[in-house]
Amino acid sequence: MKNRRKTDLVRVRFAPSPTGYLHLGNARTALFNYIFARHEGGKLVLRIEDTDKERSKKEYEDMLIDDLKWLGIEWDEGPDVGGEYGPYRQSERTHIYNEYLEKLKQSGHVYKCYCTPEELEEERKKALAEGRPPRYSGKCRNLTEEERKELEEEGKSYVWRFRVPDGETIVFEDLIKGVVEINVNEFGDFVIVRSDGSPVYNFVVVVDDALMKISHVIRGEDHLSNTPKQILIYRALGFPEPKFAHLPIILGEDRSKLSKRHGAVSVRAFRDEGYVSEAMFNGLALLGWHPKRDSEVILKDEIIKEFDIRDIHNAPAVFDRAKLKWLNGVYIREILDLDDLTNRAIPFFKKFGYEADFDYYKKVMEAIRDSIEVLNDIKERAYPFFVDEYDFDEDAIAFIKENQNSLNVIKAFYEKVKETPALDKQTFKRLTKEIQKQLKVKGKQLFMPIRIALTGKTSGVDIATLVEIIGKDRVLKRLERAIDYLSKV
RNA sequence: GCCCCCGUCGUCUAGCCAGGCCUAGGACACCGGCCUUUCACGCCGGCGACACGGGUUCGAAUCCCGUCGGGGGCACCA
């Protein structure tokens, strides 16, 4: 890191609203903030934007924090860890907002507006019908003291609006989008404090970012058009402006902003399905960013090392479930250490009612890790290791019927196993070889009957591995049951 | 409607800023083959894109303009 003065320290923030589960889009925003902070040797602050009292819930905040931690995102300051610029929940900062509202009143940057929501709605409709941009007319902008007094005596409530300078063009350099120019006439005087006295997002976000010394505001592109409003407030309050970076948003398969209607899009849902956090981290980072060297699989530390915010692709990205799933499979079969993988898999085994001890789980994971992509696949793939009273599926029964020798193979195998002291892979190989000679069957004719007898299915894990893990006794029991059942079909 | 952002295989992207090294590279998906007692895994191969039009230039995916297309935003939500 170059020598940076303390005041130049990079400070970024992730500021979610606790109104639901952490979803993929927000998770990616958090991720890029985290990666950027770490790459620059700066700090990440977590701030809870709970000014919407209707929808904000503490449970959501807890889940947000839990999901963020799970993903591997760590913050230096936040409601749970504290920090010198707290409090980190907006609902606990109202006195601060009041203080800055006071400053804006003093400097004449804001004024009271007595228009009712109905009147505004009316105006909006009219503007739209006439093809004008639907913005506030400025009706209450220049009310005299007397007019105000009158309106207030009528018992009219008011909001505080920001006085937008007419015709000014705000220019800022976005780290991702480049130079962005927006004329303030696009939006007109906007509300800063509601009639119930609560401050609105565009106002609090500026106060908080400035007071928390945020150097780079990295957020979703849906905030791009809010930026000029915020810049106006920065200037009115005399705050230094941070640098902005607007991330292209994530789209669903239908090319609209990714949301609930695109199916499971919360981090929680992916967790529950058995995605591992490292794969999520990797996959999310790949949405809009790519390492210089040509590889899709890249660990957190390398991402942090290689990351450059200027390399973020500036077109929106369609979320590709299939690719994330594939990536998850790579982590399961190639990256994670077996003990670690097993520990993560245990809750899934239990969820499916597969009970055993760690060593057994570990053996099973070793046997199946190459054939699963998400931990939920354990249900199907590990079935033969846990269930002894399985059904025989259609294909299996069909095979037995079509291959008359099958039952003989199973019976022969049963006899051999019975006389064997223990059943490991080598023994299994030896026994099947003997049967091959005795009954003159080989290949599929030899192995499929045994597979069917032991699992009830025509496909699945390697049989030699299966018998070694479940052991002689269970093999014999399964064979007895299979012979009994298959003789009757 | 208005404003802003964006436009390379079906999808994620490399290349674009510093034009020739691009008959456009990789990955997922899909298709085919190999491996294998099965399904997977793995390996090999195939399919497949510079949105369109005009300029600038000896030369354009790369620079400029226009068109079209996609997305986002226009709240007393964040």
Q: What does the pLDDT look like over A386-417, one tens digit per residue? A: 999 999 998 898 898 888 888 889 999 999 98
| pTM assigned to the model | 0.92
Which has more confidence, A151 or A269? A269
Q: For residue A7, what pLDDT is reported? A: 52
Decide: helix, strand or coil at residue A305: helix
Cα first-last separation, chain A: 74
Q: CA A314 → C1' B61, Å?
A: 17
Residue at shortest CA–C1' distance from B16: A313
pLDDT band at A245 (very low <50, low <70, confident <90, very high): very high
pLDDT band at A345 (very low <50, low <70, confident <90, very high): very high
Check pLDDT > 90 for residue A444: no
Q: For residue A422, what pLDDT is reported? A: 85
Q: CA A34 → C1' B21, Å?
A: 37
| A432 closest-nt by C1' vs CA | B37
pLDDT band at A48 (very low <50, low <70, confident <90, very high): very high
| A325 closest-nt by C1' vs CA | B28
Catalytic site residues of A? 260
The DSSP output letter for A370 is G
- Read off the pLDDT of each residue in A166-192 and give the average, rounded to a whole number: 89
Give me the sign of the Cα torsion angle A256, A261, A267, A272. negative
Candidates A371, A135, A373; CA nearest to A273 is: A373
User: DSSP labels for A29-94?
Assistant: HHHHHHHHHHHHT-EEEE-B----TTT--HHHHHHHHHHHHHHT---SBBTTTB-TT---BGGG-H
Cα A449 from Cα A398, distance rounded (Å): 11
Q: Where are the beta strands (DSSP E) in A153-213?
A: 159-162, 169-174, 178-183, 191-193
Cα A268 from Cα A111, distance rounded (Å): 44
Check pLDDT > 90 for residue A118: no
Cα A91 from Cα A80, distance rounded (Å): 15
Residue at shortest CA–C1' distance from B2: A133
Q: CA A59 → C1' B72, Å?
A: 30
The DSSP output letter for A194 is -
- Read off the pLDDT of each residue in A315-330 and give the average, rounded to a whole number: 94
Which has more confidence, A264 or A390? A390
- Read off the pLDDT of each residue in A438-450 and give the average, rounded to a whole number: 87
Cα A393 from Cα A190, distance rounded (Å): 66
Q: CA A251 → C1' B7, Å?
A: 15
- Let me know if A265 is exposed, middle or buried by CB neighbors in 10 A (0-12, 13-18, 19+): buried
Candidates A278, A336, A267; CA nearest to A303 is: A278
Candidates A37, A46, A99; CA nearest to A68 is: A46
**Mean pLDDT score of chain A:** 90
Q: For residue A440, what pLDDT is reported? A: 83
Chain B positions with an atom below 7 A of a protein C-beta are 1-8, 10-16, 25-29, 37-42, 70-78
Tokens of A289: 């960013």
Check pLDDT > 70 for residue A178: yes
Residue at shortest CA–C1' distance from B76: A194
Q: CA A197 → C1' B36, Å?
A: 72
Cα A275 from Cα A329, distance rounded (Å): 9
Q: For residue A120, what pLDDT is reported? A: 82
